[in-house]
């Protein structure tokens, strides 16, 4: 099994989303783990990126192909993973800017989604996605949470609808309870069946 583990927290130490998502990855298994740490840097959309995205592949210049190199790597990671684990903090009611930049790069018409008469259709094969969400004061899944709700909507847009959100919410109010409850949920996650 190949697990894609995406960390999005700007904090490398003391991060609840990093600790908990690593715990989940360890529980799921370690056949092949692709680590993607968005805090290490990710390109932002520019005019050049947009021009490259909207230029048909066969007409792209060498500069445009280079512009989309990282996007291609990120998409390949998504396509190759059997399971995806995302560590997600809530910053000011929403996701970290690096996660939005990641989403902008992996959402490519004709590659990860396509438009049809019925509306957009995700092109990624569905598979389990676990989103481990940490918040200081925002109740996860509430009307104030524009992080996990946005990410769930975005993943579904790409075809990834088998999404489980594991909350570690309101850590500033009762951190011990929130962390322990999240750890128990992670320890109770069903492991994938072994191939015969």
What is the domain range of residue 114? 2-187
Assess if residue 196 is contained within a domain: no
Per-residue model confidence as pLDDT tens digits over 25-76:
999 987 899 999 999 999 999 999 999 999 998 999 999 999 999 999 999 9
| Number of domain units in the chain | 1
Assess if residue 59 is contained within a domain: yes
The rounded mean pLDDT for the chain is: 94
Please, are residues 3 and 86 in contact by the beta-carbon 8 Å criterion?
no
Measured CA distances, 123 to 3, 69, 79, 99, 115 (Å) = 19, 20, 10, 20, 10
Assess if residue 192 is contained within a domain: no
CATH number of the domain enclosing 119 = 3.40.50.360
Assess if residue 130 is contained within a domain: yes
Per-residue model confidence as pLDDT tens digits over 73-102:
999 999 999 999 999 999 999 999 999 999
Assess if residue 195 is contained within a domain: no
| pTM across the whole model | 0.94
Q: How far, in Å, CA of 94 to CA of 105, rounded?
A: 18
Q: How far, in Å, CA of 68 to CA of 109, rounded?
A: 14
The pLDDT assigned to 64 comes to 95
Measured CA distances, 174 to 21, 56, 83 (Å) = 20, 51, 30
Assess if residue 194 is contained within a domain: no
């Amino acid at each position: 099994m190949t697990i894609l583990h995406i960390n999005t927290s700007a904090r490398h130490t003391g991060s609840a989303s990093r600790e908990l998502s690593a715990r989940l990855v360890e529980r799921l298994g370690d056949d092949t783990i692709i680590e993607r740490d968005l805090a290490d840097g990710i390109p932002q959309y520019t005019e050049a990126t947009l021009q490259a995205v909207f230029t048909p592949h066969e007409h792209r210049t060498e500069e445009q192909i280079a512009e989309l190199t990282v996007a291609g790597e990120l998409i390949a990671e998504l396509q190759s993973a059997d399971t995806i684990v995302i560590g997600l903090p809530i910053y000011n009611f929403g996701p970290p800017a690096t996660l939005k930049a990641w989403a902008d790069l992996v959402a490519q018409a004709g590659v990860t989604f396509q438009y049809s008469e019925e509306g957009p259709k995700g092109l990624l094969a569905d598979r389990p996605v676990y989103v481990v969400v940490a918040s200081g004061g925002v109740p996860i899944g509430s009307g104030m949470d524009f992080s996990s709700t946005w990410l769930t909507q975005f993943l579904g847009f790409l075809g990834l609808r088998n999404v489980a959100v594991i909350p570690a919410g309101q850590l500033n109010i009762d951190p011990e309870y929130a962390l322990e409850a999240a750890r128990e949920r992670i320890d109770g996650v069903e492991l994938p069946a072994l191939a015969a």
